[in-house]
Amino acid sequence: MGTALLARLGRRATGMDLPALDITDRESVTEAMRIAKPSLVINCAALTDVDLCQTNPERAFLVHRDGVGHLAETGARLVTISTDHVFTKDDAPITEDAAAHPANLYGESKLSGEREALVTGRGAVIRTSWLFGNGKGLLPWLHGGLLRGGSLNVVKDQTACVTFVPHLVDAIVGIVDSGSTGVFHCVNPGPVTPLDLALTLRERVGSGAIRAVCWKDLNVPAPRPVYSALGTHGPFHLPPLEEAFEEWMESL
């Protein structure tokens, strides 16, 4: 996502990453701000390994809460990326005004970062889920495994939404340019399970085997949301799942 944002923004943006910028270190943030002198910061830094966050909560909160807090303290307008894992279970697409109930420590730490970003009244939080594009993410992983004729264990008991990175970047730039603040849900709408995606892909590639499993079968440390498909009341709408899927397939 960060790479795609830089490509889209061009000379409007300066990209900074480890080791030049460590958001968990207040002095590192201060020095980066002195060099870049930004009026706005888009925070793409995260620990996306949900199980690592569950077993190492101190690190998760250091990155997702304290890191966002350090960026917010600088006074620059802040846009930070959050997750559907701030929700656990529902039965219909979840909009921005729904009460958060984090599914795991990853979700808890990201929710704490949301609060840091919003405390000044000038920040924006963008919740998204299951990013994919440029060979990375759930869909490319499924596609690659099936294309090789492999046998995949695919989860059937988690429902969320996928997000095609180019579509997300369009939404982020729209939010930035509009000066909008608050919480936004940005996904390709259409609740789906990994199993649904795998079955659709297998029809396309004509190879591979799929074994439907539940998360409990995989013995992972972190619980996952049962249903965390995001909906929105906001003005920034991504194309539906089917359109994102076809656009991505054409790009392969």
Catalytic annotation, residues = 106
State the pairing for strand pair 77-83/124-128: parallel
C-alpha to C-alpha distance for 114 and 117, rounded to whole angstroms: 5
Could you give the count of Cα atoms lying within 13 Å of 133 in the half-sphere of its Cβ?
19
Which of 27, 73, 68, 61 has the alpha carbon at shortest distance from 45?
68
Strand, helix or coil at 198? Answer: helix
Instruction: Tell whether the torsion through CA atoms of 67, 10, 172 and 195 is positive or negative.
Output: negative
C-alpha to C-alpha distance for 68 and 22, rounded to whole angstroms: 11
8 A C-beta contact, residue 211 and residue 151: yes
C-alpha to C-alpha distance for 208 and 50, rounded to whole angstroms: 27
Q: Strand order in 131-133's β-sheet? A: 136-137, 131-133, 163-164
C-alpha to C-alpha distance for 246 and 252, rounded to whole angstroms: 10
